[in-house]
Structure 1
Amino acid sequence: MTWFTLLIVAVGLERLAELVVSKRNAAWSFARGGVESGQRHYLVMVVLHTGLLVGALVEVWLRQPPFLPVLGWTMLALVLAAQALRWWCITTLGHQWNTRVIVVPGLRRVTRGPYRFMDHPNYVAVVVEGFALPLVHSAWVTALLFTLCNAVLLAVRIRVENRALTSMSTAAPAGPPSADVTR
């Protein structure tokens, strides 16, 4: 259980690094006239993602489920793959990535990197991590609750984001990628 706790702490520290990047990038976007959408669901998203980390720890420490090697190692591989995809998204979007929905007027939508293959690749990472991280140590209650709550949240989030991205000009001059923000 100690190694699982260390894994959750490492993911938590990674989330704090994301928030530092997000805050810097939000300031960059606002300085260029960025417009934010979806502020009402943002706090829910923060609470839900914090709940994933806390819930997984609490469940493992209270229930003390056994580590199942086939499940655990497979889920750890998925967690690592989700992290790689998330950081591919972050580096592809550059200054425009942040945890909020902020669109900078006049910029085109990103269609390179993982965005060549799908509109919201970071949400794939979130979904995979949401069930895989708790299942590394058989915390199936947390995995199930997060997955269900996250499905509801993502339905709202993606609708808000798509509406914001639709407002972007398709005829914008070439330049930095647009704000396809993700969490």
Structure 2
Amino acid sequence: MWPSIALLTFVTLQRLGELVLARRNTAALLARGAREVAPEHYPAMVALHAGWLVGLWLLAPGRPVDLFWLAVFMGLQALRLWVLATLKDRWTTRIIILPGVPLVKSGPYRFLRHPNYAIVVGEIATLPLAFGLPLYAIGFSLLNACMLSIRLKAENAALKSAMILK
């Protein structure tokens, strides 16, 4: 039972730490003249991610952890750290536009426009798969795809209107 509890504890603490970091970065960006775009979808996004994690806490304890999917998930965590290290104080969970500041084009942003979203897509699928929950992975992946379609449309429109995205 302890491997599943340890993994869920790791992910929970990671997500809570990221929320603290995101709140700090958001406040600092807003103080520098940034503005938030499309905040109306944010509570639904938080609910989706919280529901995903709470559901895993209900279903996964005591289940064996598949080492292949765990390795994939941990690889995604390394990529997540790369995103955080690249964006530094510009990383946040909200859509925050800082006018006049160019997009980051280093790190994983050399390869993908939205690498963090790609990582989240992978995480939402692979963590349930590590616990042998394929239907859970599919269900939350579909919900996340709906959320990302809304978020990406809003973010890309905001970047384009701020003349950051060509």
- TM-score range for the pair, normalised by the shorter chain length: over 0.9
The one-letter code matched in structure 2 to 1:116 is: R
TM-superposed deviation, 1:57: 2.4
Distance 1:110 1:60 in 2: 37
1:112-131 per-position Cα deviation (integer Å, ceiling 9, x unaligned) = 10000010000111011101
What residue in structure 1 maps to residue 149 of structure 2?
155
- For 1:20, the aligned partner's letter is V
- 1:23-62 correspondence runs (5 A): 23-61=23-61
1:132 equivalent in structure 2: 126
SS state at 2:113 partner? coil
Give the letter aligned to residue 96 of structure 2: I
**Identity rate of aligned residues, in percent?**
42
| Distance in 2 between residues matched to 1:170 and 1:49, nearest whole Å | 28
Measured in 2, the distance between the counterparts of 1:165 and 1:76 equals: 35
Distance in 1, matches of 2:55 and 2:164, equals 42
Tell me whether 159-168 or 106-115 shows the greater mean CA deviation.
159-168
CA-to-aligned-CA distance 1:7-61 (integer Å, 9 cap, x gap):
1111010011111111111011101111101211111111111111111222235
Quote the residue 1:75 is aligned against. 69
Q: Please list every run of 5 or more consecutive structure 1 residues that lacks an aligned counterpart in the other structure.
A: 172-183
Give the TM-score taking structure 2 as reference length: 0.92
Q: Contact 1:132–1:143 at 8 Å: present in 2 too?
A: yes
- Give the equivalent residue in structure 1 for 2:20: 20
1:170–1:34 Cα change, 3 Å: closer
Of stretches 97-106 and 46-55 in structure 1, the one that deviates more from structure 2 is 46-55
TM-score of the pair, normalised by structure 1: 0.84
Q: Report if aligned partners of 1:76, 1:132 keep a CA contact under 8 Å in 2.
A: yes
Unmatched 5+ stretches in structure 2: none
Deviation string for 1:148-179 (max 9, x for gaps)?
100100001111111111133459xxxxxxxx
C-alpha RMSD of the superposition:
1.7
Q: Secondary structure at the match of 2:60?
A: helix
Name 2:93's counterpart in structure 1.
99
User: Which whole-Å CA distance do the structure 2 matches of 1:23 and 1:170 have between them?
Assistant: 23
